[in-house]
Structure 1
Amino acid sequence: MTIEPHALYQGELGHQRLLPKRHGFAYPLHYFWLNASSLPSLGRSWLLKYEGFAAFSYRRNDYLPGAACLKQAVCDKIRQLGGDQPVTEVYLLSPLANWGHYFSPLTLYYGFDAEQQLRYLLAEVSNTPWNERHHYLIPVSANGRYQHDKDFHVSPFNPIAMQYHWQIEPPGETLVCSISNHQQQQKVFSAWMRLQRQPLSAKVLRRMLIRSPWPNVLVKIRIYWHALKLLIKGNPVYAHSKKGSVYDDVTD
């Protein structure tokens, strides 16, 4: 499979809470798909800029701490978390800073080998409002399934004592990624992205801005709006505690 250097994925983000009180939603979503080896080629227009202020801009400091080169930082993190398969190409799937404001609850790094086979998914998870980050390494198997214990506090409506179940498909014209939370072998929550590839062009970006001029701000508003709904419905709240958890990267 030949993978284009840069693209845009647009589609739907959905959440469904099953227990203790049902709650769900689905919203339009766009994520940038960027080759970590070709980031300077994004250019310097008012619409899309590499390291600067624009409608959308890539800034190295918004992403995985480590080496100055994002690709090297991702490869280092993969090895640190136990990955032993060679990774020759890294692609970033993430929002970009929007008019200088960056916010991303989930950023994904896709690691490919020399034959362009997807080997790893590195998930960079952040929590609101604590502004902490944690990284999970998901080896990509033939069936795309992987499960592991949760060890990072994200939502105050989910406890730490859970297990994540991932379903990952290699990206192409479509990109599908889903995760479900399980307690005592019972699914209590699921989230998913179902996206379609679009060209990363000025025309597409202008259309996206007309529909949603401040997407990163809108994501924050939705998070707090649905938190309020969960409180009203009577879902229990779990206190944030670092005791017994692993926090590998904490931002100020």
Structure 2
Amino acid sequence: MSALAPSVCFGAVMHERHGAAANRFVYRGAFLRLPLSALPTLRVPLLGTERANLFWVRNADHGARDGSPLLPWVRSLLAQHGLAPACDGEVVLHTMPRVLGYVFNPVSFYYCHDRSGALRAVIAEVNNTFGERHNYLVHHDDLRPILPADQLLARKVFHVSPFFPARGEYRFRFSTHGAVHTVAIDYWEGGEHRLSTRVSGSARPLCRASLMHWLLRQPLATFAVLARIHWQALRLIVKGAAFHRKPQPPLEETSR
């Protein structure tokens, strides 16, 4: 499948905490990859775009959060940071849809390509359990294409987990090998590798059969994400992980 085609990806999510209170878990996961230029006219059984369905992608859950279309929001953000000329191709949204009306997306990604299809920048749209959000915009300084082995850095400024401080840096890698799409995020703080996260999935065509497979495989996907977050938090408390109070969110909605 083309990396720019609408698809459903089935795979796994892995988190591994290093150092004190070490902890590791792997869960089955699924996500959508949606080219934003096609989103307004996308018609797939069981999937609603701006209309309720078993699976539902809602503009108000992303971007400006006011229900406005996502592609103009992405183009405007890229223009504000001087990236519009390099990112003049398709933008693909990697996200979890609402399932049975509910969603919690710890992170969604906007893959911003040039006209030749090369990846030039990525927006990581992060949500925490306090209802706050922040965008990390990552790219090479010279805006060259992002390759699978490339590591992109972003200073951590947004509180996500009470078991890590809002400082340090993220190191992102984005790769596609055949039909398999992978995001690797490593968190470093104080010169130490503190956390590894991997989100990976094999793409299938976005169709009724794929969505039915998702529904039968993970009917309570949203609730499972929240339940796992709280279960792993309990495990870390039992292991004696240090607790960090939530600071005020950053004043800027997007950081680089």
**Same fold per TM (> 0.5)?**
yes
User: Is 2:107 the counterpart of 1:102?
Assistant: no
Give the Å deviation of 1:170. Answer: 4.5
Q: Are 2:159 and 2:165, in contact at CA under 8 Å, matched by a contact in 1?
A: yes
Identity of aligned residues (%): 28
Q: Following superposition of structure 1 onto structure 2, how do residues 5-84 of structure 1 map, counting pairs within 5 Å? A: 5-43=5-43, 45=45, 47-65=46-64, 68-83=68-83
Q: Which ranges in structure 2 are unaligned for 5 or more consecutive residues?
A: 141-145
Cα gap change, 1:6 to 1:228, in 2 (>3 Å): same
- Give the structure 1 partner of residue 143 of structure 2: none
CA contact (8 A) 1:8 1:30 kept: yes
Q: How far is 1:246 from its partner?
A: 4.1
Q: Distance in 2 between matches of 1:148 and 1:53?
A: 35
What is the CA–CA distance in structure 2 between the aligned matches of 1:136 and 1:37, rounded to whole Å? 22
Q: Name the amino acid aligned to 2:244.
A: Y
**Distance apart, 1:87 and its partner CA:** 2.5
Paired AA for residue 180 in structure 2: T
Aligned to 1:238: 244
The equivalent position to 2:197 in structure 1, one of 191, 196, 203, is 191
Aligned partner of 1:148 in structure 2 is 154
Report the TM-score, using the length of structure 1 for normalisation.
Answer: 0.90
Partner of 1:118: 119
Aligned length: 246
Checking the alignment, whether the CA contact within 8 Å between 1:151 and 1:246 is kept in structure 2 is no
Tell me the residue number matched to 1:211.
217
Question: Could you tell me how far 1:171 is from its partner in structure 2?
Answer: 6.8
Shift of 1:89: 1.1
Closer, same or farther: CA 132–82 of 1 in aligned 2, 3 Å: farther
- Runs (4 or more) in structure 1 with deviation over 4 Å come to none
CA 1:126/1:171 → structure 2, altered by over 3 Å: closer, same or farther?
farther
Give the Cα separation in 2 of the matches to 1:148 and 1:123. 10
Given candidates 218, 221, 229, the residue that maps to 1:223 is 229
User: Matched residues in 2 for 1:127 and 1:152: separation?
Assistant: 9
Tell me the amino acid that sits aligned with residue 121 of structure 1: V
- Greater shift in the superposed pair: 89-98 or 169-178: 169-178
